[in-house]
Each structure stands twice: as structure tokens, then as C-alpha cells.
Amino acid sequence: MRRAARTVVAVLATTATLSFVAQPVQAHPQTKTLRSAAPRDLRIGTAVAGGGHHVEHSYPDPFTYDRPYRKVLAKEFNSVSPENQMKWEFIHPERNKYNFGPADAIVKFARQHGQAVRGHTLLWHSQNPAWLNEGTFTKAELRSILKSHIFTVVGRYRGQIQQWDVANEIFNENGEYRQENIWIRELGPGIVADAFRWAHQADPRAQLFLNDYGVEWPGVKVDAYETLAKELLAQRVPLHGFASQAHLSMRYGAPDQLAGVLQRFDDLGLKTAITELDVRMDLPEGGVPTAEQLTTQASYYKTALDACLAVDDCNSFTIWGFTDKYSWVPVFFPAEGAATVMFEDFTKKPAYYTLRDTLARARR
């Protein structure tokens, strides 16, 4: 299937360099949503809004209370990623207390709607609870805290998580291990291999991933991941995949080398995935994107999807939220926004239709 898709992409690229403006695929019942249009071996996912920046807003928890939101979530996607609800600060707020309710609700929703779940995340420098960041622990205690967290959380959802982002953002822009990462700083980089081993023991069927941003173009960060992946595989560590988050900005250009990056990891025998795609832009005065901006944004989304379609074992394509109503982008980048495929009222942008048409063509 994926080889066929690759041929389609290649043909489109040669016969119509601007394949992005190709004729829309005729509305067929099977191609009405992203999930129904997608090739059978490709999951189409979204982050499930909750926690994180949402806590600072006046609206109630989006996943729990926004019924139109839940309807679109169920209809359009066959994979979901808890945006914050499985992160340490959220799911493990006190040393001896876990808060599983919100994550349980997402996993249940996914089961009811035939969706896979991407677990996010187990070993990260950010969004760790105060008790961990500010506590005083021996190395042995820290190691045991991480091991016990992984066995508890991964074990709870055993058999229900398709892919886990085991190690998230472990390298900085220079390709060095991030010293802000408490686990790496205190226990050394070897802890990454242990995290994969523990996750695999806790759920042998889950596919275990390295996940990061800033790896959409070749460079030292991608090199660092390739070296690490080779080392882990040589040590028979259960590493199964490499994922590009793909938080894009129209300031920096389309991800036109992403397929090549993913292919390097596919060549190692790993699965690949796009896990957090969004495309932010500088908003004009008034905050409404121009038609031209929306067209450019759609082309970036398409380039990222084409990259995944072009690589055999890229089986999961996830956007980081589907509506601007709940996007993290304006919180972090105040001048930028409109990064998702739907406006705040869930009306669809050109990016949505471009993704759907591209998926439908690849499915044939």
C-alpha cells in the first residue's frame, strides 16, 4: 500500500510540480473525513486538548465539556495524543499520588471510537512536577522513581497504547544531551536506554519512540538522533521509532527535506511518525489570516504529509490540535497564530481540504 502511495506522490510530483493545487478528489462517502480518506496503514491523529496552557484560560476542560469539539475529534481522527494529560506534572502530581482520571477518559473515548492512542511522554525535561524538580533525591532514588513511574503508567494502559513517546526532546540544538533534563543530568544518558527497556517490559506491544522538534531538516540534531538510534539498536534496546514533531512556522519555510530525514531512520529499520504538526503564521492586524497565507499554510501541511506518505514505515501522522480555539501557539508565540487546520468555530481551512485530498489520492 505504502509503495503504491509513494508512486502516486512521485507521479504527482513529476507531472504537476504544483500538485498542491490539483483538482479536489470528488466527495465520496469514504473520503469525507481525514480518517476515512487515509490509506489503511496510516493513522491520522490529533492532540486532545486539556491541561497545560488550557488551565490558564477561562473555558472548562475542552475534551470533557466541548461537545462540538468531541464530535469532530471522533469523526475526523483515528489516533489521539493526550496533549498534557499523560505528562508527569499532570498524571503524577505528588510523589505517592497519580491522577489517572483524564487520561483514562481519553483512552476510553479512543476505544469507543476505534482510535489508537499515542502516549506522551515518559522522559522529558519539561512539565515535571514540583515534588520532582525541587526534591532532594539520591541517584538510586531517582532511578527508582523513574522506573516505578514508567511501570505504573505504561502498565496501566498496557495493550491500549499504540505508540509511546518514551524520550522527548532529549537533545538541544547543538546535538548535545539537554542538561535541563533531570534524568540525563543526574543519571547520565544511559538512562534513556533503561527507559525504553522498562517501557517495553511494561507493555511489550507498544511501539517505543524518540520524539523531537527541530528535526525536520538535516543537521546536527538529526545526526545525534541517528547516532543514538544506531547505538540503541546495536545494544538491542527496544527502540521502534523516530518521530518528528513538526511544529512549523511560515517564517522558516516548508519542510521540504523531511522525507529525506525520515528515510534515514526508516533505513535503520525503524518506524517513523509525524507527531505534533502545526503551521503558525504572523497574523495581520485584526488577527484574520489572508487567503494567501492560508494557501501557503496548506502547502506546508501537504509537504509534511507527503513526506510521511513517501516513507514506507511512516504509519502515524498527527496534528497538534485541529482547531485554533485551543491551540498552544498564541500562548508561546504572541505574534503568531492560526496554526491549525480549522478556525475557532471548526470551519475548515484550505489546509484541511488539502490534507484530505492528498490522503484520498494516496489511498487509491
Residues that bind ligand G3I (CB under 6 A): 52-53, 56, 83-84, 126-127, 213, 245, 276, 328, 331
**Nearest to ligand G3I of 33, 84 (CB atom):** 84
**Nearest to ligand G3I of 288, 331 (CB atom):** 331
Q: To the nearest 10°, the Cα dihedral for 179, 180, 185, 186?
A: 170
Identify whether 180 is a catalytic site residue.
no
Identify whether 169 is a catalytic site residue.
yes
**Nearest to ligand G3I of 169, 357 (CB atom):** 169
Q: To the nearest 10°, the Cα dihedral for 360, 356, 169, 293?
A: 140
Q: Which of 276, 292, 336, 344 is catalytic?
A: 276
Q: Minimal distance in Å, beta carbon 235 to ligand G3I? A: 26
CA triple 142-143-146, angle to 5 deg: 85
Q: Which amino acid is at 347?
A: T
Q: Minimal distance in Å, beta carbon 249 to ligand G3I? A: 12
Q: Minimal distance in Å, beta carbon 51 to ligand G3I? A: 6
d(CA 342, CA 325): 9
d(CA 59, CA 239): 39
If phi over 0 gives left and psi between -120 and 50 gives alpha, with beta otherwise, what is residue 35?
Answer: alpha
CB 9 within 8 A of CB 319: no
Place of cell 511522554: 121
d(CA 164, CA 240): 10
d(CA 176, CA 26): 48
Q: Minimal distance in Å, beta carbon 198 to ligand G3I? A: 21
Q: Minimal distance in Å, beta carbon 118 to ligand G3I? A: 11
Residues annotated as catalytic are 169, 276
